[in-house]
Structure 1
Amino acid sequence: MSGLSETERAGCTKLLQSLSKDDVFSLSDTVTNKLIVVENVTEAIGAIITFTKNAEEFLKRKKVHRDLIFKYLANEGVVMPPNSEKNKLVKRTLELWSSGKAGVDQSLPGETDDTKQGLTSDTDIVKAEVGFDPLVLGQQFCQWFFPLLNSQNPSLAQLPQDWGPKHFWPDAKLCLLSRAGSEQMEDFLGAELVSLRLLALTRDEQLLLSPNLEPQGLRTLASPHGLVLVAVAGTIHRDGACLGVFEQIFGLIRSPLENNSWKIKFVNLKIRGQDSLGGAETAAPALTCNSTELQLLYS
């Protein structure tokens, strides 16, 4: 029998689904010592899960290579330095699974019924109940938004989630400032254009945005008029290489016509390439904006 918890089984399954068919069959033969005959990938994954003694043994298998674990963690919203060795990635994955927050349960410690946010079943737009905590909303929003956007990246080899203009207000705005060699400013107006430009970052440019949800990387602010600002810093990757850092500020407003779901009113995204960082640490970047600067966005 498998020695894996429910969370570990779900995580191992997700990793196995990213492997090639040949690698899955090969790993099944290794784990079962070729005593179990499987006819398809689903049976092979089931055999691997059943006969795996523990999660650490699974993660240390040669077929479960470093890049696979790195991409898995990034998709779960876990920030890791791009040059992390496999043993560090394995340790962090085990910590994630033991916390119970991966795959099966995305709730946050200390979250109550009054502050819990989720996704609407029909539109996947973040929603909140009366009496919400802005910080909890910000954490939940980032745990929803970045995996959703990153899933559009073809290098992750996963099924893209339901991205589109429905997550934005019709008059949404995007201000994109990039500093990679030269400085470039782009402005977009309207849900369709904003949605398409953000989509291009991951689908076409194959970037992976990894947010830092620790206190120094996430800040929220709520105005008395219903606008909630979520500011987050993070790193940008492509094919395992760290290209730079980003700071992103979202303006969120409830939609009373859509069951009080939160929709994105504006996005300010600032990207800095490695050449503009001057050797600064990028593993867990901190926000440079403060609460006073955020308040200026209310007007």
Structure 2
Amino acid sequence: MSISEHHRSGLRDLLCNETNIPVLLQLARSVTKNVCSIDEPEEALGYLITQVGDTHKLLHKRHITKDLLFRYLNTRLPGTSTDFTKADLVMKIIQYWDKQSNGAVSKAPDSTHADAPSMQIANEQEYPIHLMARKFGEWFFNKYNSDSLILSDLWSDAALEMKVIADDGASDFECCSAEQVLECLVRAKQTFGFYFNPNLSHSGVQGRIDPYGQVIVLCCGTLHSAERSVGVFECAFGLLRDPNEGNNWKPKKFKCLLRSELSPPRLHTLDESKTLQLALTLPTPTDALD
């Protein structure tokens, strides 16, 4: 899908100014993998439009920060609320450009922009951070259910917060160190006899980035005992690369909720989770992970 002319004009308005030209040049060098020497703003914008080819994807690039988008939108639409995620700001800016294009949003359904929302939804599932999150979720729960998690799978200073809500009350557990985290995870599973069935679709597992650059994997699913669904679980894992283990991603932080239910849903989703809503507002990078 190519970038429309009025989106090109909007991108020029956003990036080709004294404040944001350094971001524009950095972005162009990034998408061309420094193959070309790029020093002129118009040349850089041309490379971006050609190489990325999608307005939503381009605005979600890591170098285009939430702060940059907010400052731009606030200059064009003074009084813009600060209570927006980056994804919200991207959509607001695109809507602003569409309105400025003298009725572009009212074109026939076969216009380029008419397909953008559905294309964005389809493409979002393939963002590198979501692909990695689903791969991690599958790996972790396979090992957890088969009692094959080992200490080297976790960071040595791993930390866990777990809340178990049962019919007879709630219990909270906190611990630090890989040994204690592994022991707590195993004990919880054995005590209640749970089998963890994660929802490995995009509706059940997604990735985010926290303010410290840590990858956050959000995962939910159903709890089973003796082939019967007995509750739901919601987990947030904080992952960091381990240079001593082939630079692989390893969990360092665990935050889990296990909740028994008389009539649990057939499929638990992130939208229905009560503990992960704040984490879902964290940024979702579209680039490959560093």
Q: TM-score, normalised by structure 1?
A: 0.47
Q: TM-score, normalised by structure 2?
A: 0.49
- Which is greater in Rg? 2
Please identify which structure carries the higher helix content: 2
